[in-house]
Amino acid sequence: MNWISFGDFLEMGGYGLYVWGSLGMCAAVVVAELMVIRFRRRLLAQEAGDERATEEHTA
């Protein structure tokens, strides 16, 4: 597709709302997934650290 101006590019032939909305939602899902992974990794690291601390005290 050829666009004459940047506004035409953003409009996407009348489908800009759907195109940019879907891209925005995909980006939001990817960011949310990364945040969940980071949270779970920290939680697991804390749990592993707690187990190591209790093992050191009992040994």
- What are 31-48's pLDDT values in tens digits? 999 999 999 999 998 888
pLDDT of residue 54: 59
The residue written with tokens 């779970």 in the block is 40
pLDDT of residue 59: 57
Q: Give the start-end residues of each E strand in 1-59.
A: none
Task: State the average pLDDT for the chain.
Answer: 88
What is the radius of gyration, based on Cα positions, of the chain?
23
Domain count across the chain: 1
| 39 within domain boundaries | yes
| 22 within domain boundaries | no
Structural domain harbouring 35: 27-59
